[in-house]
């Protein structure tokens, strides 16, 4: 069985500071994984390495057994990894409608308009936003904006989605 995401003995430094030291992790099909730890413990750095935004100083990252980063080199760029992330601040384009926010990434993939429309309709239904495709982010509730950000990741049909959320001390994560 292929492990969709595998991180093997990854190390990462920023200046004189060790951020990650010999981190290994395997995420199987349909697994949900939470990275927990205090601020500065390397959670975001690990996500950035898996996404291909930065290279590990040492170690190997594999997606479906293919080596995509190794020992200071990015062998497969982020746009070819078929991964998505939903940022804490959501990063929605305020001048684009819900449909425009979802179509943005699809246009970059050069999908035909019919395919884009079909994917957008399907994912809007999945996140219960059908009928709101012509609204702008400012005209949506906070929960609706979060669902647009999630839909923007899902519409690309990635092999994995990461959600970057910070927790304040003493607070539990929200579902």
100 and 72 assigned to the same domain: no
- The pTM of this model reads 0.70
Which pLDDT does position 175 carry in this prediction? 41
What pLDDT, in 10s, does the model give residues 70-90?
Answer: 999 999 999 899 888 777 778
Same domain, 47 and 122: no
49 in helix, strand or coil?
helix
Q: What are phi and psi of 100, to 5 degrees?
A: -65, -40
Q: How many folded domains does the chain comprise?
A: 2
Q: Which residue range forms the structural domain that includes residue 149?
A: 86-169
> Does 118 reside within a domain?
yes
Same-domain status, 68 and 90: no
Residues 132 and 75 grouped into a single domain: no
CATH of the domain at 100: 3.40.50.300
Are residues 65 and 91 located together in one domain of the fold? no
> Tell me, what's the pLDDT at 13?
95
Task: With beta carbons less than 8 A apart as the criterion, state whether 35 and 94 touch.
Answer: no
Q: Is the pLDDT of residue 125 over 60?
A: yes
């Amino acid at each position: 069985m292929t492990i969709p995401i595998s991180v093997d003995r990854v190390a990462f430094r920023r200046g004189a500071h060790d951020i990650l030291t010999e981190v290994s992790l395997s995420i199987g099909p349909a697994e949900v994984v939470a990275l927990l730890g205090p601020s500065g413990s390397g959670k975001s750095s690990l996500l950035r390495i898996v996404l291909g935004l930065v290279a590990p100083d040492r170690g190997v990252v594999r997606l479906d057994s293919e080596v995509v980063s190794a020992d200071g080199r990015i062998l497969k760029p982020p746009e070819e990894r078929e991964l998505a992330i939903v940022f804490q601040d959501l990063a929605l384009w305020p001048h684009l409608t819900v449909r425009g926010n979802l179509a943005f990434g699809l246009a970059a993939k050069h999908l035909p308009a019919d395919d884009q429309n079909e994917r957008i309709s399907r994912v809007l239904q999945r996140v219960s936003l059908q009928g709101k495709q012509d609204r702008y982010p400012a005209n949506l509730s906070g929960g609706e904006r979060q669902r647009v950000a999630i839909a923007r990741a899902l519409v690309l049909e990635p092999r994995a989605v990461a959600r970057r959320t910070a927790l304040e001390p003493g607070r539990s994560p929200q579902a």
